[in-house]
Chains A and B, each alone.
Chain A
Amino acid sequence: MARITKVERVRRRDGRDRYVVHEDTGAPTWGPDAALAVVGHPHPRVEGYEKVSGRATYASDVRLPGQLYARVLRSPLPHARLRRIDTARAAALPGVYGVLSSTNAPPIRWYETSYLFDRTLRYVGDEVAAVAAETEEIAEDALRLIDVEYEPLPFVVDLAAAPRPDAPKVWESGNRPARPRVRQRGDVDAGFAQADYVVDEVYTTQSALHNCLEPHGCTATWEGDHLTLWDSTQSVFGVRDEVAEALGLPIHHVRVIKQYMGGGFGSKQVAWKHTVIAALLSRQARRPVQLMLDREAENLAAGNRNPTRQRVRLGARRDGSLTAIHAHVEQGVGAYLLGGEGSEVSGPYRSLYRCPNVRTEQVEIYTNTGPAAAFRAPGWVEGAFALESAMDELARGLGLDPLELRRRNYTAEDQEHSKPYSLDGLRHCYERAAEAFGWHSYQRPARRGSKRRGIGLAAHDWAGGGGWPPAYAWVKLNTDGTADVITGTQDIGTGTRTGLAQVAAEALGLPLERVALRLGDTQAGPYAPVSAGSATQATLGPAIEQAAVEARQQLLMAAAPMLDVAPAQLAVRDGAVYVVDAPDRRLKVAEVMERIAPHMIQGAGARGPNRRDRSVQTFGAQLVEVEVDVETGEVTVLRLVACHDCGRIINPTLVESQVVGGIIQGLGYALSEERVVDPASGIVLNANLEEYKVPTVADVPSIVNVPLGLPDLDANPTGAKGIGEPPLVPTAPAIANAVFDAVGVRIRALPLSRASLLEALAAGREAPR
C-alpha cells in the first residue's frame, strides 16, 4: 500500500529546510530463479497494431475542429540585437489568425535571464516571431512578410575559440556560465609520481543532433481558462508545471497529454518555447493551434549533444594498476543553459575504474549555437570515448591486453560514494561478451589488398537505470476480471506500456492481454517523473507492483469465502484464483469479480527509496571487429558483440531492441554524425537529414546482444534496471580502438571520418605489426 512512513527534515546548504518523504518499499517478491508467468517472456508490444496501422496518435497527428498551424521565424544571425520588428503585413494576410513577437508577447522569462521572445538573439535559429494560420503554407507566407531589422553583433561558434580572452562574448558576463566543477579524491600528483607509464592526450567529440523523427511540437487548445496540450514530451508533468508557471495558471487548469512519441532521446525532457508559444497563439486566435518544428528548426533549436574537448592523463604501474586519473573537460553548452541537460562528461573518470587518486575539472562554455540538451546517456557518451580510448592507449603502452587491463582495474564499489554496487554486473559483462566474441582466440585475417582488420573493446558504467522516488500508480480490477493500471508516466517509444503491463500482470496473476496500461495524461494518472536516465522501468515497476499486490490481496479476500478457505491459502496465476494445496479448487478472476459486482477492487502503489547502503548503476561492454581500407579511409564495422547489465530482463525482445538500437546510434556517433557550423556565418550547414548522416539500414553490421539477465534484487523489488541509454555509451570508443588495432593510428577526434583517418594515415604512417 502506498503510504508515507517517514518525513525527514534535511538542512540545505543555503540554510533552508527541505523535507524528504519516505514511502514504503516492498521486499523483493520474485527470487532470482522464480518461475514467472509473464515477466521475463518476449511479449510483442501491446500497442503494436496502433503503430503498424497508422492509428497511433502522436502530437503531430492531433486534428481538432478549426485547428490552425503555426510557424516560427528564427534568427538568421548568430548574434544580433533586434532594432525593429514589424508584423503588420503578416497579421493582415488572409488566413492568419495570430502573430507573436517581442512587441506583443507577455514578458515570460525563459533561458536564464532572457525572455520567450527576446530582443537579443544568440544563435542562428533563436526565436524571433511566430504566426498561426489556416495552413502551414499560409503561415510560411506570413513569416516572409515580417519586417525585421537586425543589428549584427560579434559572435563565436567554435568551442576552442570561445574561452580565449579576446573572443566575442555570448553573454555580457562572458563565455563561462559557471566556475569549473572540480571533483577530487586522493592526490593525483602523488599518484602520477608512482606511475611507471603515463598517457597524456587530448580527445575531442562533436556536437551530435538528436534528429528524433517526430519533431518537437505541440497542439494547444483552450476551454475557458483551462489549457490542454498534446505535447511531444518525455515529461507530461514537467511540461504541465513549467507551462502553468510561465502562463500564471493554476496547475489543475493545465492538462498535458502524450500517448505516442516519435523519439526523444533526451531532447524532449524539458518544456520548450514552442509549447508556450502554441498556447499563447491559441489564446490569441481563439482556436486550437498546432506548432510542430520543421526539420531545419529541429536541427537548430531543439537540442544537441554538447561538443567536448577533453585532456586526459592516466598513470599506471607496470602491472597496469591505475595510480592516477586526471581529466580536464571543456564542453559547449550553446548559447543558453537549458536546465535538464545534465551532461556530466567527467562522470565516468571517477567511477569506471579502481583508482585512489582522481581529479576532474569540468568547464562549461557558451558559444553562439543552439542550446545543448541531454542526449541519451548525456556526458557519459562523450566521457567514455576519451577515457576508453586512453585506456586502450595505456594497454598498448604497457603491452597488456586491453581486456586484461580493465580486469586489473575492476571495482565493485562506487568509489565516489564509498558503497558497493547493488550488483557487480560489469565483471559478468566482460566475461560473457569476450566469450561470445572470441576475444582471446581471435586470429587476425591476412591483409587483403588495402583492407586491414582489427578488434577493439570498450566498457561503460552509467549512473542511470536504477530509478528513484517518487512515482505512483493505481490498479483497478474490473468486474469482468480485466485490470486497468493507471500512472502518469509516458511511453517514449521504449516499450514502457508493455514492460510495465508485464509487471502488473505478473503481480495480479492475470494474462497480459487482460491488463491495460493507461499513461501519458496528467489529468488521468498520478504523478510520475520524466522518462529519462533509463529510469522508467525501475522507477514505475515497483510502484505498479505494489499497487497490484494490494489489489491482489483484496481479490484473495473476496475469493476466500467462495472457495471456503482463508485468504492466506490462496494464490492467483493465469487469471485464476486457486487453493495452493489443492490447485484444482479454483475460480476464474472474472468469476470472483462478477460475484462481488458492482464492487470493484483498487490498489495504490508508490515508489520507495533506494537502499542507502548500495549504489545502483548499469554496466556493459562491447567488442567490435572492423575493416579499414587504408586507401579510402573507409571504416566498416563487421561485427559487434554487446553484453549489458540491466538487472532482471522483463521482456527480452524489448531489451534486445534497445541494445541494437542504441548501438546503431553509436555507429552514427562514431563514424558519420556531426553538426557542422560555418565559423564565418554561424549557420548550421547540415540542418537536414540529407547532409546530417544518421545511419541507414545499409550501415548496420552484425550485432549480437548477449543477454545477462541477473536480477538486481538490491536495486528494487522487481530486480529490473533500465537499458534505454547504456548501449550507446561504449560503441564509439570500441570502434576507435579497433581502428587502431587495424592500422596503428589513433584517431582522437569524433567522428572518425574518412578524411581524418586518411590524414592520420599519411602523417603517422601505417604502423608495422
Chain B
Amino acid sequence: MQAITLDVNGAAHELLVEPRRTLLDALRASLQLTGTKKVCDMGDCGACTVLVDGRAMYACLLLAIDCQGRAITTIEGLGSPDAPDPLQAAFVQADAYQCGYCTPGQIMSLKGLLLDNPAPTDAEILRAVSGNLCRCGAYPNILRAGRRAAELMARTDGTDH
C-alpha cells in the first residue's frame, strides 16, 4: 500500500492505495465518488472520463499513484443543483441520455473540449464524444446538448464581462 494525495474537485484527499489501483477505482471505491462509471475497464467506452489538468482522460487507463499533483475533476465537481454547469443544463434540456450511465463520461468529454475551445464546430463536438459509447443511442441529442452548452457559455461570458 502507498500513501498518496489526490487533488479531486479542488480538495486534497489522502488515501492508501496499492500501486496497481487505477484512478477509476480510487475515485469509485477509495473516495466513494461513484458518479464516474466503470463499464469496460480497458479504455474502450469512455464512461470513466474525467478531467486531468483540464484534459479529458479515461480514468481506467491511469494509475492513481501517477495522478498526484494533478488537478482531477469528476462529474461531482461540476455545477450545483442551483447553478448547474451549462453542459448539465443542456443535457437535461436536450434529453441527451436515457439510462444515464454513460452521461457523466459524455459530459466530461465535452467539458474538456469546451475548456480548450469554447466555440467548437459540429465536427469538433462529434470528435470530442466519439470515444464515449451510449448503448441507449442518445447520440443525436448528445451532440445537440454539446452545441447548446457552447451557446449557453458564450451567452454567459457575454453578460459577465
- A residues within 8 Å of B by Cβ? 44-45, 47-58, 60-61, 63, 69, 135-137, 210-215, 260-263, 265, 292, 294-295, 492-495, 653-654, 656-658, 660-665, 688-690, 694-698, 700, 703
Contacts and interface: CB of A to CB of B under 8 A. Distances in A.
Contacts of B103: 51-52
B139 A700 contact: yes
Contacts of A294: 41
Contacts of B74: 54
Contact of A493 (B76, B78, B99): B99
Nearest to A67: B29
Contacts of A703: 140
Contact of B40 (A658, A665, A689): A689
B99 A69 contact: no
A660 B137 contact: yes
Contacts, number: 173
B37 interface: yes
A662 B137 contact: yes
Contacts of A58: 34, 37, 101
A703 to B, nearest CB: 7
A53 B32 CA distance: 14
- Those 9 A-B pairs whose CB atoms lie nearest each other, nearest first: A54-B35, A493-B99, A262-B101, A664-B137, A661-B137, A51-B100, A48-B92, A54-B75, A61-B34
Chain B interface bracket (under 10, 10 to 19, 20 to 34, 35 or more): 35 or more
Contact of A697 (B40, B79, B129): B129
A69 B29 contact: yes
Interface in B18-48: 18, 20-21, 25, 28-29, 32-42, 44-45, 47
23 contacts: A45-B95, A45-B97, A47-B100, A48-B91, A52-B87, A53-B35, A54-B34, A57-B34, A60-B38, A210-B135, A213-B45, A214-B37, A262-B37, A262-B99, A295-B41, A295-B44, A493-B101, A657-B141, A660-B141, A665-B135, A688-B40, A689-B40, A690-B42
A214 B143 contact: no
A60 B34 contact: yes
A277 to B, nearest CB: 19
A656 B98 CA distance: 11
Given A51-B103, A294-B41, A495 B88 contact: no
Interface of B: 18, 20-21, 25, 28-29, 32-42, 44-45, 47, 74-76, 78-79, 81, 84, 87-88, 91-93, 95, 97-104, 107, 126, 129-130, 132-143
Contact of B39 (A53, A214, A661, A695): A214
B28 to A, nearest CB: 8
Given A136-B25, A294-B41, A662-B137, 13 more contacts: A45-B97, A49-B88, A54-B33, A60-B38, A137-B21, A211-B135, A212-B101, A213-B101, A261-B99, A262-B37, A660-B138, A688-B40, A700-B140
Given A61-B34, A262-B101, A698-B130, A53 B136 contact: no
A492 B138 CA distance: 15
Contacts of B107: 52
Contacts of B78: 53
A697 B75 contact: no
A210 B36 CA distance: 22
Given A48-B92, A697-B134, A492 B99 contact: yes
Contacts of A493: 98-101, 136
A137 B28 CA distance: 13
A52 B92 contact: yes
Contacts of B129: 697
A49 B84 contact: yes
B137 A135 contact: no
Contacts of B25: 135-137
A696 B36 CA distance: 20
Given A213-B47, A690-B42, A135 B99 contact: no
A136 B26 CA distance: 11
A49 B93 CA distance: 10
B37 A697 contact: no
Nearest to B43: A690
Contacts of B39: 213-215, 295, 689
A658 B135 CA distance: 12
A696 B32 CA distance: 29
Nearest to A61: B34
Contacts of B28: 61
Contacts of A60: 34, 37-38
Given A697-B139, A700-B140, A52 B101 contact: no
A174 to B, nearest CB: 36
Contact of A52 (B29, B41, B88): B88
Contacts of A47: 100
Given A664-B139, A697-B132, A51 B41 contact: no
A215 B98 CA distance: 16
A764 to B, nearest CB: 33
Contact of B135 (A48, A52, A212): A212
A693 to B, nearest CB: 10
A513 to B, nearest CB: 13
Contacts of A700: 137, 139-140
B79 A657 contact: no
Nearest to A210: B135
Contacts of B141: 657, 660
Contacts of A55: 35
Contacts of B135: 210-213, 263, 265, 665, 694
